[in-house]
Amino acid sequence: MSSNSGIQIPSRLPLLLTHEGVLLPGSTMRISVETARNMHLVKNRLLKGTSLKSTIIGVIPNTRDPEHDTEDLPTLHSIGTAGLAVQVVGSNWPKPHYTLLITGLCRFRVAQLLKEGPFPVAEVEQLDKLEQYTSPEEMSEAAGPEGELGELSKRFYQAAVQLVGMLDMSVPVVAKLRRLLDSLPRETLPDVLASMIHTSNKEKLQVLDAVSLEERFKKTLPLLTRQIEGLKLLQKTRKLRPDDNKRVLAVRKGGVLPGHQFSLDEEGEDEDGDDTAVLERKVKGANMPQPALRVCLKELKRLKKMPQSMPEYALTRNYLDLMVELPWSKSTTDCLDIHAARVLLDSDHYAMEKLKRRVLEYLAVRQLKSTLKGPILCFVGPPGVGKTSVGRSIARTLGREFHRIALGGVCDQSDIRGHTQCKCFYICSCIMKYAFLLLCVNCAPNTESLLCPPDSHQVLDPEQNHSFTDHYLNVAFDLSQVLFIATANSTATIPPALLDRMEVLQVQGYTQEEKVEIAHRHLIPHQLEQHGLTPQQLQIPQDTTQDIISKYTREAGVRSLERKIGAICRAVAVKVAEGHTVTKSEAAPAESTPQGAEHGEGKRGRRGEEPDGVSADMAAPPDMPIVIDHIALKDILGPHVFEMEVSERLTLPGVAVGLAWTPLGGEIMFVEASRMEGEGQLTLTGQLGDVMKESAHLAMSWLRSNAKTYQLTNMVGGSDPLEGTDIHLHFPAGAVTKDGPSAGVTMVTVLASLFSGRLVRSDVAMTGEITLRGLVLPVGGIKDKVLAAHRAGVKRVIIPKRNEKDLEEIPANVRVELDFVTASNLDEVLNAAFDGGFPGMSNPLTLPHIVSKL
Ligand SMILES: Nc1ncnc2c1ncn2[C@@H]1O[C@H](COP(=O)(O)OP(=O)(O)OP(=O)(O)O)[C@@H](O)[C@H]1O
């Protein structure tokens, strides 16, 4: 079917070789141009040409062009489509290429290849008419009386109309397509529809090759029918889907479908299947009180309506999961046996008599009255003295689970009461989860603002926590069965409202002897077990333990001590393990390793393994147990960390030892003073608080007012110590903030030493508040301070007279080793601090008693 009339395409056409896709006349296609030959065509013809003719090219399908134009031109498909390049877009990424938008005009046959490079050009023969298409009626006429072509085209048109009607498109679009279909000449319909419907490249190529119109109709009609059938099937399945939805809904709602019994149990715990139904079941089975159940069901209803992709879905889901998890109606029965509790507490902890007695009283009352809304016990003491450990023992005694919540770093009440539902961090919900357990709440110093708002101590308050409501769950929960025990390093940072609701039990630091006992009864056996060692393998004598305590640790508790013992165990474990390895390698016959005896320790001491039973190694000590003496100790732990430095530092006037209390226990503190020419200024350094600064001024004033009495002089020998002199008072460990009045007596002693040029006794430490009149007032933390002095090797401790009663708390062995001076005024302090006393000219102790005449 050649065309002799109408619009003609050029007889010479540049050829674009494509591999993917087939351009059919009447359709538009995007073609990517990458090969060298095609690129040349675009550059030299399409981009350079200016006439309409220059934009017409021949597209030859199904031809993969080689990458380089030097290679031979492949065999070309004989029929192609002349197309109009509507758009050319160039890009450099990922490699230079063009994208062409081409509209197919008509078929052509390659008559003769004119040239191959840089792009092929061919003499072509146009196969389709481009103009003067016949109208549908003319088409029927042209088809002849037999009308086979007419019949075909009619069937084709009807199928096309049916197809357009079945498309899943909006009504206006369908109407538009329909109009287009009516306006198009019938002979173009096969090409246009073949490019529209789902067809493979092979099928499209067949359509392209069908030059005769009749053949083209015949080739395309089955493709069209296939598409229609496919759409029909699709529509059928879509019609089924609403039923399916109903079915799923019925299952979700726990409904029953006719003919099949669906039960939720059948689904099991399949989360993907229908997890809201499972959740609903759990909510109903959680035994929660009515108000909580109502809230849960309401949330569940909301959850069901939410799409899973919604962020709130996860929040609500988490909330419901937590509500279900809470032990609403679960409780444990306390198994209380006071005798067993006493045995357990004693076996778990050495010393701590006062604390253990109070705990037993508490447990005894609980045994008699199980609904005791007793006080919350709060153990206060330095770190590592066993506060948490006692809490754990109480839990064991009661048969409750133990859980520890550290409130360190919690500084917002919403961390206690929870946030709104958008946040999930909530301590109370944690507490609720562990309800009926014993809880040890660690009130760390930085929890100052914790529980400060008036209602937030409700968590701990036994009078209020039966209906505790937090911000997250927002439903009342009974916390009254939770047994709280609080621990803290200092009461100073616990808010008064909370402190008022707790019974504070002080846990003091340990003496050296107590530590030795704790180490041998608890820490060493525990560490041996932790490291897989036995007492037959490692022995730490008491002397060594004492060395560890005095030379490697300085603490009120026993945590560092336990760590050091752990370090020894690790070192020994290596030796033991090495020994094992040697034993294994030596399992070979003794003759094969005649030099075995030279292998050192591993071989040396292994009893019963000496070759031939010779007693050559009899002089060497046995391999096991490894005994840690002071040489081994130094080898494992390194040089001593702490020294008894008191005497060494008191070699100049103007230095004295004070006793301080910190949340970490008692400590000794060297106070230093120096003077220089100046204008009578007092400089204080060492991060002192206001109270301590005031104490320094008090001490200075008292000494100035009593300078004559004690013959104190300034640098030039004048009677006012401050005249022409500047004083500097320093409290070492300058990075640590210090405050409190108890360093008053030490400051007076230091300054008295400085002004008198006399040395303070090197074995004295002191504590006490002073007044302007020279009285010594009582201070706190005496036990910890005295223990610190004892640890540091001090022999004499000066304390306020009114603190004498506190000496009873000090273990007898420490009391025996220390000389206590109880002072009620500064004169007594100075007399005790200096060798030979500190007599002044008008010292009331040395002057005759003057009787008042008034
Ligand atoms: N009297 C004791 N008898 C036996 N072991 C003890 C004793 N005191 C402390 N310990 C041991 O010391 C270690 C530290 O104790 P624990 O954790 O209870 O200290 P804590 O006082 O709670 O410290 P913190 O204030 O830092 O929380 C534990 O291994 C504990 O068993």
What per-residue confidence (pLDDT) applies to 26?
85
What per-residue confidence (pLDDT) applies to 456?
44
Q: Is the preceding peptide bond at 190 cis, omega within 30 degrees of 0?
A: no
Q: Cα of 562 to ligand 1 centre, how many Å? A: 10
Contact by Cβ (8 Å): 22, 204 = yes
Instruction: Identify which has the larger pLDDT, 824 or 838.
Output: 824
Name beta bridge partners: 673. Answer: 729
To the question of whether residue 691 is assigned a binding role by annotation, the answer is no
257 Cα distance to chain centroid: 48
CA-to-CA separations, 531 to 307, 524, 534, 542, 562, in angstroms, rounded = 54, 11, 9, 20, 13
What is the spatial distance between Cα 553 and Cα 564, in angstroms, rounded to a whole number? 8
Ligand 1 atom 15, closest CA: 386
Q: Cα of 331 to ligand 1 centre, how many Å? A: 29
CA-to-CA separations, 805 to 243, 424, 617, 740, in angstroms, rounded = 89, 51, 61, 21
pLDDT in tens, 110-132: 998 888 878 889 999 988 877 65
- Tell me, what amino acid is at 278? V
Average pLDDT over residues 167-187: 78
- Say how many C-beta atoms besides its own lie within 10 A of residue 75's C-beta: 7
Q: Which two tokens stand for residue 732?
A: 């070492």
ipTM given for this complex: 0.96
Contact by Cβ (8 Å): 42, 55 = no
Q: Which of 224-233, 441-450, 534-543, 616-625 has the lowest mean pLDDT?
A: 441-450
- Active-site residue flag, 433: no
What is the spatial distance between Cα 162 and Cα 225, in angstroms, rounded to a whole number? 10
- pLDDT grade for 136, boundaries at 50, 70 and 90: low
Q: Which domains does the chain have, with CATH numbers?
A: 12-126 (2.30.130.40), 136-231 (no CATH), 271-325 (no CATH), 338-506 (3.40.50.300), 512-587+599-637 (1.10.8.60), 646-833 (3.30.230.10)
Ligand 1 atom 6, closest CA: 386
Ligand 1 atom 30, closest CA: 386
Instruction: Identify which has the larger pLDDT, 562 or 324.
Output: 562
Instruction: Identify which has the larger pLDDT, 521 or 260.
Output: 521
- Ligand 1 pocket member 384 (CB < 6 A): yes
Classify residue 463 by its DSSP letter: T
What per-residue confidence (pLDDT) applies to 526?
93
- Ligand 1 pocket member 195 (CB < 6 A): no
Q: Cα of 557 to ligand 1 centre, how many Å? A: 7
- pLDDT grade for 606, boundaries at 50, 70 and 90: very low
Please state the φ and ψ torsions of residue 777, each to the nearest 5 degrees.
-100, 155
To the question of whether residue 388 is assigned a binding role by annotation, the answer is yes
Q: Cα of 509 to ligand 1 centre, how many Å? A: 11
To the question of whether residue 459 is assigned a binding role by annotation, the answer is no
Radius of gyration for the alpha carbons in the chain, expressed in angstroms and rounded: 50
What is the spatial distance between Cα 727 and Cα 821, in angstroms, rounded to a whole number? 29
Closest CA to 391 of 374, 375, 404: 404
Phi/psi region, residue 26 (left: phi>0; alpha: psi -120 to 50; beta: rest), is left
Burial of 265 (0-12, 13-18, 19+ CB in 10 A): exposed
Contact by Cβ (8 Å): 490, 451 = no
Q: Cα of 488 to ligand 1 centre, how many Å? A: 13
- pLDDT grade for 100, boundaries at 50, 70 and 90: confident
To the question of whether residue 384 is assigned a binding role by annotation, the answer is yes
Residue 41 belongs to what H/E stretch?
helix 36-41
To the question of whether residue 638 is assigned a binding role by annotation, the answer is no
Average pLDDT over residues 811-832: 90
Q: Which of 142-151, 452-461, 691-700 has the lowest mean pLDDT?
A: 452-461
Q: Which two tokens stand for residue 73?
A: 């031109």
- Ligand 1 pocket member 389 (CB < 6 A): yes
Average pLDDT over residues 341-356: 86
pLDDT in tens, 755-795: 888 889 888 999 999 999 989 999 988 988 898 888 888 88
Contact by Cβ (8 Å): 677, 725 = yes
- Active-site residue flag, 742: yes
Biggest CA-to-CA distance, the chain: 161
Q: For 81-212, where are the alpha helices, taking DSSP H only?
A: 136-142, 148-166, 171-183, 189-196, 201-209
Among the listed residues 742, 753, 756, 762, the single catalytic one is: 742
Ligand 1 atom 24, closest CA: 383
What per-residue confidence (pLDDT) applies to 474?
65
Ligand 1 atom 9, closest CA: 386
Please state the φ and ψ torsions of residue 405, each to the nearest 5 degrees.
-115, 120
What is the spatial distance between Cα 803 and Cα 782, in angstroms, rounded to a whole number? 7
Average pLDDT over residues 216-227: 89
- Ligand 1 pocket member 351 (CB < 6 A): yes
